[in-house]
Amino acid sequence: MRIAIDEDRCEGQAVCVGLAPKVFALGDDDEAVRALVGEVPAELEARTRKAVAKCPMAALEIIE
């Protein structure tokens, strides 16, 4: 699975970073998050799905 980030929607609230810090990080400008991985490792999928579901701006999408 991969993650798509809609940078126009992301406000950098970093909820995803808190839930899945091995998958997401704040960008250099701290205004949007970025993915740290291309393909999400199997052991991080559950945390990543939770992070996507909890995004307050619905800026994250899972691509199977």
pLDDT tens digit at each of 64 positions of the chain: 999 999 999 999 999 999 999 999 998 877 899 999 999 999 999 999 999 999 999 999 999 9
User: The tokens of 1 are what?
Assistant: 């699975």
Bridge partners of residue 36, in order along the sequence: none
Q: Which helix (H) or strand (E) holds 10?
A: none
Could you tell me what percentage of the chain is helix, strand and coil, using 3-state DSSP and rounding each to the nearest 5?
A: 30, 20, 50
Q: Which helix (H) or strand (E) holds 52?
A: helix 45-54
What is the Cα–Cα distance from 43 to 26, expressed in whole angstroms?
A: 22
Contact indicator for 16, 33 with CB cutoff of 8 Å: yes
What is the value of pTM for the model shown?
A: 0.91
User: What pLDDT score does 28 carry?
Assistant: 81
CATH topology of domain 2-63: Alpha-Beta Plaits (3.30.70)
Domain boundaries, the chain: 2-63
